[in-house]
A and B are shown apart, each in its own frame.
Chain A
Amino acid sequence: MNRIKTPLDFETIRKLKAGDQVSLSGVLFTGRDAAHKRLVDTYLAGQELPVDLRGQVIYYVGPCPAKPGKVIGSAGPTTSIRMDPYTPLLVRELGLRGMIGKGHRSQKVVDVIKEEGAIYFLTIGGAAALLAQRIKKAEVVAYPEFGPEAIYRLEVEDFPLIVGVDSDGRSAYDEGQSKYRLIHSVVGSGETLENRR
Chain B
Amino acid sequence: MKEIHVKDITETVEKLCIEACTTLGNDWWQTMDKAVSQEESTLGKDMLGIIRENAKLAASTGEPICQDTGTAVIFLEMGQEVRIAGGNLYHAINEGVHRGYTNGYLRKSVVSDPLIRKNTGDNTPAIIHVDIVSGSDLKITVAPKGAGSENSSGLKMLKPADGEDGVIQFVMEVVEAAGPNACPPVVVGVGLGGNLEKSAILAKRSLLRPLGKRHPQPHIAKLEEEILRRINSTGIGPQGLGGRITALDVHIETYPTHIASLPVAVNIQCHASRHAEAVL
Interface with A: B48-56, B75-83, B193-201, which one? B48-56
**Which A-chain residue is minimally distant from B230 (CB atoms)?**
A183
- Whole-angstrom CA separation of A165 from B129 in the bound complex: 41
Knowing A66-B105, A126-B51 are in contact, say whether A104-B179 is a contact too (CB < 8 A).
yes
The smallest beta-carbon distance between B103 and chain A, in angstroms, is 10
Within 8 A of B (CB), among A156-195: 160, 162, 172-173, 175-183, 185-187, 193
Say whether A176 contacts B119, CB under 8 Å.
no
B198 to chain A, nearest CB (A): 23
Other-chain contact of A147, B64, B121, B234 (Cβ < 8 Å)? B121
Known contacts: A128-B54, A130-B50. The answer to whether A73 contacts B65 by CB under 8 A is: no
Instruction: A173 to B58: give the CA distance in the assembly, Å.
Output: 27
26 residue pairs of the A-B complex, CB under 8 angstroms, read A62-B67, A62-B68, A63-B67, A73-B105, A79-B148, A103-B179, A125-B66, A125-B148, A125-B270, A126-B183, A127-B51, A132-B63, A146-B119, A148-B109, A148-B119, A172-B241, A173-B180, A176-B41, A176-B242, A177-B241, A179-B41, A180-B41, A182-B234, A183-B234, A185-B234, A193-B169
Determine if B105 and A126 form an interchain contact, defined as CB atoms under 8 angstroms apart.
no
Q: Which residue of chain A has the shortest Cβ distance to B58 in the bound complex? A: A129
A66, B107: Cα distance in complex, Å: 10
Inter-chain CA distance A26–B107, complex, in Å, is 25
User: Quick check: is B126 within 8 A (CB to CB) of the other chain?
Assistant: no
Interface size on A, residues (CB 8 A): 50
Tell me, rounded to whole Å, the shortest Cβ–Cβ distance linking A154 to chain B: 13
Say how far A99's CB is from chain B's closest CB, in angstroms. 15
A residues contacting B by CB (< 8 A) are 19, 34, 61-67, 73-76, 78-79, 81, 102-104, 122, 124-130, 132-133, 146-148, 160, 162, 172-173, 175-183, 185-187, 193, 196
Selecting from B84-92, B170-178, B212-220, B249-257, the interface stretch reads: B170-178
Q: How far is the CB of B2 from chain A (nearest CB, A)?
A: 37
In the assembly, what is the distance between CA of A34 and CA of B116, in Å? 12
- Is A125 touching B234 in the complex (CB atoms < 8 A)? no
A146 to B69, CA, bound (A): 17
* CB–CB B66/A124 < 8 A: no
Report if B96 contacts A (CB, 8 A): no
Contact A73:B108 (CB < 8 A) given known A104-B179, A181-B233, A181-B234? no
Report Cα–Cα, A145/B51, bound state, in Å: 32
B4 at the interface (CB under 8 A from A): no
* A124 close to B239 (CB less than 8 A): yes
Q: Are B235 and A147 in contact (CB under 8 A)?
A: no
8 Å CB interface, B1-48 against A:
40-41, 43, 47
Does the CB pair B180–A126 fall under 8 Å? no
Q: How far is the CB of B85 from chain A (nearest CB, A)?
A: 34
Chain B: minimal CB distance from A135 (Å): 11
Contact between A182 and B177, CB atoms less than 8 A apart: no
Does B237 make an interface contact (CB < 8 A)? yes
Which residues of chain B have C-beta atoms less than 8 A from A148's C-beta?
67, 107-109, 119
The answer to whether B233 and A182 have CB atoms under 8 Å apart is: yes
